[in-house]
Amino acid sequence: MPEHSLAVENASVSFGSGSTRVSALTGVSLQFAPSTLTLIMGPSGSGKTTLLSLLGCLLTPNEGSVFIQGRNTRLCSAREKSALRRQEIGFIFQAFRLFHSLSAIENVVIKSDISGDAHKHSRKHSRTLALDLLASLGLDGKMHLKPDDLSGGEKQRVAIARALISNPKILLADEPTAALDSNSGRQICEILRRLAKDQHHTVVIVSHDPRWTSFAGRTVLLQDGRVIEDRRN
């Protein structure tokens, strides 16, 4: 599937066994193209987070397949999936998931450490890259602050810088504005829209936040683990 950087094909996921078995996703097929910000919406329990976990190689479907840059992840070992997450995917989480003991810049550089880029290029290069990214996200004066000293919007921008430092083609965001005030939320929406539009990232966002509909190029609606609507905006 060369035209799609990311795709799920007839994917089903269920949890538990026997009478307690719950189906989270049933026969979902979706393709995500570069330069598009896709918004996945749906009520609680509709399977949004399960779908995001599948796309991020954090879960394996019981049936069906997930393709990342054309590679079927079903055929990948755990080590290869980790490598895909390091190289191809940037994650942005609702709870930010920053390392509390590290400063803003260290939180960004750690992704390079994990990816081995810090050794490939030199730690200095990674730091310069992190400084540029944080500055471009409006955090120039806050590079050395720890997460506890940053506002919610600032934390999320650090998380975006962390997601971007290894230059992944795919960005997956789980409720990225849920913990933010309206102004910070709008800024994050704008940043992610620009990343899709100007830098040709494939951006997939799971959110309940209606503000996203005006920023998204496509909206997918899930209900009871099935796609009930797939709309281009």
Q: Which residues are near other proteins by CB under 8 A?
A: 49, 52-53, 56, 58-59, 79, 82-87, 89, 91, 93-95, 97, 99-102, 106, 110-111, 113-115, 162, 174-175, 178-179
CB of 232 to other proteins, least distance (A): 26
Task: Give the side-chain half-sphere CA count within 13 A for 40.
Answer: 29
Q: Which residue has the tokens 């919007």?
A: 153
Please, which residue, 117 or 154, has the CB nearer to other proteins? Answer: 117
Q: What is the DSSP string of 92-161?
A: E-TT----TTS-HHHHHHHHHHHHTHHHHH-HHHHHHHHHHHHHHTT-GGGTT--GGGS-HHHHHHHHHH
The smaller minimum CB distance to other proteins, of residues 103 and 219, is found at 103
In the complex, minimum distance from the CB of residue 93 to other proteins, in angstroms, rounded to a whole number? 6
Chain Cα centroid distance, residue 108: 15
Choice between 50 and 219, CB closer to other proteins: 50
In angstroms, give the least distance from the CB of 197 to other proteins: 25
Nearer to other proteins, 38 or 115 (CB): 115
Minimum distance between the CB of residue 161 and other proteins, rounded to whole angstroms? 13
Minimum CB separation from other proteins for residue 166, in Å? 9
Shortest distance (Å) from residue 129 CB to other proteins: 16
- How far apart CA 6 and CA 35 sit, in angstroms, is 12
Distance CA 124, CA 171 (A): 25
- Integer Cα distance of 212 and 124 in angstroms: 36
Nearest CB to other proteins, comparing residues 94 and 219: 94
Would you say 35 or 60 has its CB closer to other proteins?
Answer: 60
> 170-189 as b/e, with b when 16 or more CB fall inside 10 Å?
bbbbbbbbebbeeebbbbbb
